[in-house]
Structure 1
Amino acid sequence: MSLVLTVDLARVAFTRFTVPPDPGAAWTGEEQPVGFPATQLVASWTAHTPPGAWIEVELQATTESGTRTKWYVMGRWSEHGHPRTSVPGQGDEDGDVAVDTFVARRPVVAYRVRVTAHGVGARVDCLGVMASAVPRRPAAPAASTAGSAAAGAVQLVVPAHSQHEHAGHHPEWDGGGANWCGPAAVAMVLAFWGRGPAPAELGWVGDGDPCPVVDHAARGTYDTSYQGTGNWPFNVAYAGTYGLAGFVTRLRSAAELERLVRAGIPVITSQSFKAHELPGSGYSTNGHIMVVTGFTAEGDILVNDPAAPGDAQVRRVYPRAAFENVWLRGSGSGGIVYVLHPPEFSLPPSNGNW
């Protein structure tokens, strides 16, 4: 079932699918109405793929005129890396796939998802699709402070990892440093849940590495076509190899972030900004990943920011209104998050975007 949100900033519908344990050559879900004219679709999944096995996830959309598009490949995934790639060059008159996001050239009102298993033993554990319509340049949101003062401060103890402590590491996986915010964030959340690679899986990293699990996450999320570690669904799928459930969606306010954090779930966010737009950051970025870990009693946002120069500086406080602006605006990610949690850990109630 899909629930639809209609809000000033964005419209979002998120749907979970149950894929049979053995889908055979392919499994195709029923057509899923969105409930509004959507402009973007993002699929995310966790899967188990033994050596030699992999999955392909595709989406087909239906336009407002009732025409079905072709099938677009949203990703080819193997936890062992062969293949682990997005697929460029799919654009046509209906839309295109920008690494991990189907961007419609004309609005779509429904879609189908198809999963093809290759090799022996491949299975999908979680599969979700987020449909959204994000204005190109929405007005900056007013800070949503409701709940913080009455509930008091909250902070989840999430281990701190700086991406910059890995500068120059493993150029074959985008070289560490400024490029590894995603792997650092996923490694932090895995450690929070007590998950992640065992020491025996880290021997290849090399002596003297300050935090081998970050290098491991970079290798495990690297998209060979994109040539980077910033593919959102691939980061979710990597976490899934260590037993977490997860999905990519959009949130509409820091109030929704707060609902998840107060339920005990750190949330990974994507944002872009100039240094003056996020006081205390000290840097500008065209795209960056952070982990939201808590809220002050006044409602400001506690984060683990992997852009800090070292682990000791990773924990930061950012003003709520400024954070909401750079995270939610349509010229950035439009409120993108990925939520990772053990399957047995219940999510708080939602209005439809998780």
Structure 2
Amino acid sequence: MVRRSLAALLAPLLAAGTLVAPPAGAAPQDPIQHVSWGSGDELAAGSVRGVAVKRGKLLLTAEAGRRTFEGRRYDKGTWTSPWVSPGFGLTELIPSWQASTPGDSWIEVRVRGRERDGSMTSWDTMARWTSGGAIDRTTLSGQDDDGTSVAVDTWRTPGVTGWQLKVLLMRREGTSARLRVDRIGAVASAVPARSDVATSATGPAAGKVLDVPAYSQMIHSGHSPQWGGGGQAWCSPTSTSMVLAYRGALPGAAAYGWVPGGHPDPWVDHAARMVYDHGYDGAGNWAFNTAYAGGLVKSAYVTRLHDLREAEDYIVAGTPLVASIAFGRGDLTGAPISSSGGHLLVIVGFEADGDVVVNDPAAPSNASVRRVYDRGELEDAWQTASSGTVYVIG
């Protein structure tokens, strides 16, 4: 189980220019903790049934059980995490994972909480997910039977003091697809509703800008509307694709061969298809975006940061961040759209005065994606909208 301070995590990574595990920073006024299991020793701390930890992965064994789902029979194994007690009453939890599910195989991710009196909530199913086409990738919003509930990619609670994850590995009975889970974790937080935030002080990334390729979602307008409404709604997969391109990890041409000829940047269309959430009916599911990216890079996960000063440490380490924001009319000077109830963009660096350099996919063309936003305005749009949610893709 990985629980590290941001400073301790980043120190050995500055030279390497990549992040391979999530931070666990916490501030008294805004408790945030990220816990992840991603090595053999870490995964071995969980309990298993029909699953073995081999070469740092979770794999089904011959002792797997059986499950019938939508009329089909599956081999089933489970891994259950240790209980995590973050030291505060969490109100939100965002799981994320990396897995490979070839053929007719998939995984299901569940979460439950522990109350202050030691009683436990029921298991809530967060997602059914596949890296292939075995099932429709979906989340299951609702499930508010005992005070907790699922809101797409986020588990909401009234303040439980502990949490636990379970992942089910499912493979069609009689087949031999080698499905595996490489990493699973979650970020827990207790963040109050806010209408304004203080602007953080400029830090060590002042004047540093990463050379992240620029892709516009708007040049895909009308493309494949079945995957979340078309390019005009694809801020998340477009942002994810920008970071994958920066990492040299875009999928090969065979993956997006289905995209009609003449479509620019066809890997963006492919990303939208791969992250589409049938339950949410959109391509903006945070965990589905990092799960897709996680099949192409060493590490990808969702976490939360307290402010842009923490984001600067990632930029110094060579790691751009996909940030989730929202803003009203006139609240984000220079934005290519007047307002948004939910938008994602890539933080790629900082000006010398601390203002934020971004790749904003809502720009009308690739050439106009690079923007500079006022530090205070962007920090407010990010923290009040999503409590500092980011994708870290390394």
TM-score, structure 1 as length reference: 0.91
Cα RMSD for the two superposed structures: 1.5
Structure 1 match to 2:10: none
- Residue 324 (structure 1) aligned to one of 371, 375, 379: 379
Aligned to 1:346: none
Q: How far apart, in 2, do the equivalents of 1:225 and 1:316 lie?
A: 33
Aligned mates of 2:349, 2:381 — CA distance in 1: 18
Does the 8 Å CA contact 2:204/2:316 hold for their aligned counterparts? no
Shift of 1:175: 2.7
Q: Is 2:142–2:151's contact at 8 Å kept on the other side of the alignment?
A: no
Q: Show the counterpart of 2:131.
A: 79
Unaligned runs of 5+ in 2: 5-23, 44-52, 61-76, 172-176
5 Å-filtered alignment, 1:104-183, equals 104=157, 106-119=158-171, 120-137=177-194, 139-148=196-205, 152-183=206-237
Partner of 2:156: 103
Cα distance, 1:8 vs. partner? 6.0
Structure 1 residue 13 and structure 2 residue 36: aligned? Answer: no
1:6, 1:129 → 2: CA distance? 14
Equivalence for 1:194: 248
Tell me, which stretches of 5 or more residues in structure 1 are unaligned? 342-354
- The percentage of counterpart residues that share the same residue type is 41
Superimposed CA distance per residue, residues 193-250 of structure 1 (whole angstroms, 9 cap, x where no aligned partner): 0012111222210011011010000000001111110110000000012133111111
- 1:337 aligns to what? 390
Equivalent residue, structure 1, for 2:347: 292
Indicate which of 92, 113, 116 corresponds to 1:64: 116
What SS class does the counterpart of residue 364 from structure 2 fall into? coil
- Secondary structure of the residue aligned to 1:44 is strand
- Match of 1:35, SS state, is coil
Q: Which runs of 4+ in 1 moved over 4 A?
A: 3-6
> Quick check: 1:275–1:281 contact (8 Å CA) kept in 2?
no
Deviation at 1:146, TM superposition (A): 3.2
Larger Rg: 2
Q: Which of these residues, 335, 353, 370, is aligned with residue 315 of structure 1?
A: 370
Q: How does the TM-score come out when normalised to structure 2? A: 0.82
Q: Deviations over 1:225-276 (max 9, x none)?
A: 1111011000000001213311111101111111001110011000000131
Aligned equivalents of 1:8 and 1:322: distance in 2? 24
CA pair 31-8 structure 1, distance change in 2 beyond 3 A: closer
If asked which structure has higher relative contact order (CA below 8 Å, sep 6+), I would say 1
1:33 corresponds, among 71, 76, 85, to 85
Partner of 1:187: helix, strand, or coil? helix
Q: Which of the numbers 259, 282, 303 marks the counterpart of 2:358?
A: 303
Whole-Å separation in 1 of the counterparts to 2:156 and 2:199 = 27
* Residue aligning to 2:97: 45
Question: Are the aligned partners of 1:163 and 1:307 in contact in 2 as well (CA < 8 Å)?
Answer: yes
Contact 1:126 1:246 in 2 (8 A): no
Determine the C-alpha separation between the residues in 2 that align with 1:138 and 1:244.
Answer: 36
